[in-house]
Structure 1
Amino acid sequence: MAGYSARVRGDIGRWQQAGLIDASTADLLRRDVEVNARQSLSFGSILAMMAALLFGAAILIFVAANWEAIPRLARVAALFAVILGGYVGGAVLKTRDHAAIGEALWIVAAAAFGGSIALIGQMYHLSGDEASALVTWGAGTALAAVALRSNPLTVAAVGIADAWLFLKGFDYYSRSDFPHVFVVMAIVLFVLSFWTRSQPARHLIILSLLFYLVLLATDQATLPVAIPLVVASVVLFAAGVLVPERVDRIVRLGGRLPLHALLGFLTGLAVIQFELADEHTYNSGFTLASVVALAGIVAAIVFAGRESRGLRWLAYLGFAFELATIYVVTLQSMLDTAGFFLAAAVLLGILAIVIIRVEKRMKDPATGGATA
């Protein structure tokens, strides 16, 4: 945010010198940038969150290490005291303009709640597994996020849901049904994020859904999952490019829907290519998927690359991945070791030339507009 604020202040000064805005408008814009910069997540806030997580871990480890020496009633009272003190103390600090420390205490309380589930379950020999404990922990954290309207707690609830998906998706503990209920979790948390004003949570939820779809494709039918993902990504990309303001009023992703759509597009095609890689000698499916991937990358840069550096770099990475995949699948049987290094050098050189030319074309119009 600091880098963005500095760029906007520089643009405001340039607009004022060019006569596009007057001095009073420039002052209003600068004050608005400063206010929003102060409200954003600062480096100090990040350190406060890290300290909170370490503090919560220290408390839980200390209690666990001395578990047998502490009377049972004192154990429960201590755990609930940490939870209550964290939530109430954080709320008091936040009302007194100490938002970063207050949010950090809420994270401590959420961590203590998760630890309490495990420790109390062990103490009273309650039935259930770790995945069930994660669901309880995530539900409690989500309720706390709703009650306190907390951005970090919403992100924490999404992270706990992701941990549950990882455990269930990889059958870490026992063989069970595929965790389709994660889609319901994601929808609930996505809606919740609008109430808590947590844009980072929405970004994380979208990435989590992509991970869910990859797990679904590898666990069950590959092409029936990957092909709709590609089609849906193209539709979302088109919507994010053609009507960006209207779409962003709905999803509120800060204009980054095309970036997520491109990632979904590349993910779906990568799954398709891996599925068809062994059959490339007998049919043209892999070649067609590769052509579609390269064409989609070029289209993404042309239609949305100018507005998003992150999208351009994702497209570059996707292009490099496609080149490597095509080589590994179609060319490795034709080249010896020396040929491989030569081909790698040529491919990297082509990639470098493409990136340099694209970046130059992206910058030239902006420079010409500023000097005009």
Structure 2
Amino acid sequence: MASYASRLKQDIARWAETGIVDASTAAALLQDAEANERRSFSFGFVLAIMAALLLGASILLLIAANWGSIPRLVRVCGLLAVLFGGYVGGAVLKQRGDDALAEALWLVAASSFGASIALIGQMYHFSGDLDAALLTWCVGTVLAAFLLRSGPLTVGAVAIAMAWLILRGVENWGAGLPSHLYLVIALLLWLVSYWTQSRAARHLILLSLILYVALLAVQYEVLGLATVLAIGSAALFALHVRIPGEVERVIRLGSGFPAHCLVGFLAGLAMIQAELVDEGMSLAFAALATFGGIAAALYLAGRESRVLRSIAYVGFGLELCFVYAVTMGTMLGTAGLFLASGVLLGIIAIFIIRVERRIRTGISGHGGATA
């Protein structure tokens, strides 16, 4: 399948041939598309990152395997050398235009920093626990990402923060909240992602916030917090549909924000349905709300986002499986719920078809009048 940039170049060429844009505008559009394509992740870039991570892991495992036989001073100097060589060497390569190799070396250095925390702590018997080490690793990686303006390092920092959140949630299961400090960390990472221009980091942060609310709901009050998650996600989705330009200026996710809203909506309703599994009528209303929400998301934003469509189709299929599994002992109940859902979706489908037909008719009529 052709990439977005390839399809855009074909469209620009067609627009120039048909006279929609003039030659100078077409040339400017092509130049901008090529510049953005060079800045995007290429397959070679991904391979370089993977190779760097594997290389870093192999070096660290080699050191760890022979840790006891290496003199203490040599251990510390070796760890510092890997850090210095990774960050400084990456900076030199960045100045020469070797972006992929530079980012790869920075990731090796960041990985080495995390391993250094554990190995030096073990060597000098420093007191501490795993979540404190993860938090220190995250802070160091964020600082490096900010100073080097590195998108991959920002993504790495978010991944470390998510690991810290999950660890805190597991450690405190049934005994307390996931740490509210994560909200501060997420805000800091979000601001850094603007500086490093890392859209992938912002995607991960939004997913982690959904996870945070889910952990909070499971440990405390499922119905209340899950309802807040579902309604809040729906409200943000509606806000994006109502004022997409203003929301995009803040979020800067392209067409990806509605997909996150749909994930939050489905996650909230999934927890609600799990809690209401023995409540027949309430469960039916929650299932209908899920089907209706999926249909609305497809109608309002499905055309612009292939990811949203995929999430919607998967969510629809899982919801059908869940409803059948819960009500399969009562075939009449299953049939009744499917009938009600089918009628509702049929009405929505008829409405969508008529609206889209009117839009197409209006566009054709306007074009004909103009001509």
TM-score range, shorter chain: 0.7 to 0.9
Matches within 5 A, 1:266-277: 266-277=266-277
Quote the residue 1:301 is aligned against.
298
Aligned residue in 2 for 1:63 = 63
Distance 2:165 2:73 in 1: 34
SS in 1 for 2:128: coil
Q: TM-score, normalised by structure 2?
A: 0.88
Among residues 312, 315, 326, which one is paired with 1:315 in the alignment? 312
Whether contact under 8 Å (1:306, 1:362) holds in the other structure is no
1:203 offset after TM fit, Å? 0.3
Match of 2:282 in 1: 285
Distance (Å, rounded) in 2 between the aligned partners of 1:174 and 1:63: 38
Q: Which residue pairs with 1:132 in the alignment?
A: 132
User: What is the one-letter code of the residue matched to 1:311?
Assistant: L
- CA deviation after TM superposition for structure 1 residue 279, in Å: 2.5
Shift of 1:174: 11
The CA distance in 2 between the partners of 1:302 and 1:335, in whole Å, is 31
Give the drift of 1:22: 2.0
Q: 1:295, CA displacement in angstroms?
A: 1.0
User: 1:222, 1:272 within 8 Å by CA — same for their partners in 2?
Assistant: yes
CA distance in 1, matches of 2:102, 2:172: 35
1:72-111 matched pairs, under 5 angstroms: 72-111=72-111
Aligned counterpart, 1:233: 233
The CA distance in 2 between the partners of 1:17 and 1:315, in whole Å, is 37
Q: Please tell me whether the aligned partners of residues 168 and 176 of structure 1 are also in contact (alpha carbons under 8 angstroms).
A: no
Residues 329 and 173 of structure 1: CA distance in aligned 2, closer, same or farther (over 3 Å): closer
- What are the ranges of 5 or more consecutive residues in structure 2 without an aligned counterpart? none
Query: Aligned-pair RMSD on alpha carbons?
Result: 2.9
| Match in the other structure for 1:186 | 186
Where do residues 163-202 of structure 1 align in structure 2 (5 Å cutoff)?
163-171=163-171, 177-202=177-202
1:133 counterpart letter in structure 2: A
Alignment of 1:204-353 (within 5 A): 204-280=204-280, 284-330=281-327, 332-334=328-330
Report the Cα distance in structure 2 between the residues aligned to 1:302 and 1:174, rounded to whole angstroms.
40
Describe the shift of the 1:33–1:2 C-alpha distance in structure 2 as closer, same or farther (beyond 3 A).
Answer: farther
Supply the distance in 2 between the matched residues of 1:54 and 1:38 (Cα, whole angstroms).
25
Amino acid at match of 1:334: T
Percent of aligned positions that are identical = 51
SS of structure 2 residue aligned to 1:125: coil
Q: CA deviation at 1:18?
A: 1.9
Q: 1:61 to 1:2 in 2, by over 3 A?
A: farther
Q: Report the Cα distance in structure 1 between the residues aligned to 2:33 and 2:125, rounded to whole angstroms.
A: 54
Any residues of structure 2 matched to 1:150-165 within 5 Å, and which? 150-165=150-165
For residues 7 and 271 of structure 2, the distance between their equivalents in structure 1, rounded to whole angstroms, comes to: 39
Q: Which residue of 2 aligns with 1:50?
A: 50
Tell me if structure 1 keeps the 8 A contact 2:291–2:316. Answer: yes
When residues 315 and 191 of structure 1 are mapped into structure 2, their CA distance, relative to the original with a 3 A threshold, is same
Q: TM-score, normalised by structure 1?
A: 0.87
3-state SS of paired residue (1:20): coil
User: In the TM superposition, what is the alpha-carbon distance from 1:328 to its structure 2 partner?
Assistant: 1.5
Letter in 1 for 2:319: E
Contact 1:15 1:21 in 2 (8 A): yes
Q: Aligned partners of 2:236 and 2:174: how far apart in 1? A: 37
- Deviation string 1:218-244 (CA, Å, 9 cap, x unpaired) is 111101211111111111111111211
SS at match of 2:69: coil
Distance 1:57-1:362 versus aligned 2 partners, 3 A rule: farther
CA distance in 1, matches of 2:305, 2:254: 11
Which whole-Å CA distance do the structure 2 matches of 1:241 and 1:320 have between them?
Answer: 25
Structure 1 unaligned residues grouped into runs of 5+: none
Separation (CA, whole Å) in 2 of partners of 1:248 and 1:97 = 30
CA distance in structure 1 between the partners assigned to 2:218 and 2:8 by the alignment: 45
Write the distance in 1 (CA, Å) between the matches of 2:57 and 2:69: 19
Alpha-carbon offset, residue 323 of structure 1 = 1.2
Deviation at 1:262, TM superposition (A): 1.0
Change (3 A) 1:316 1:162: same
Q: Deviations over 1:73-126 (max 9, x none)?
A: 000000001001100110111011011101110000000000000100110111
Per the alignment, in what secondary structure is the counterpart of residue 128 of structure 1?
coil
What letter corresponds to residue 310 of structure 2 in structure 1? W
Identify the residue that residue 34 of structure 1 maps to in structure 2. Answer: 34
Cα deviation 1:233-256 (Å, max 9, x = unaligned): 111111111211111011111132
Structure 1 residue 146 corresponds to structure 2 residue 146:
yes
Aligned residue pairs, count: 351
d(CA) in 2 for partners of 1:146, 1:209: 22
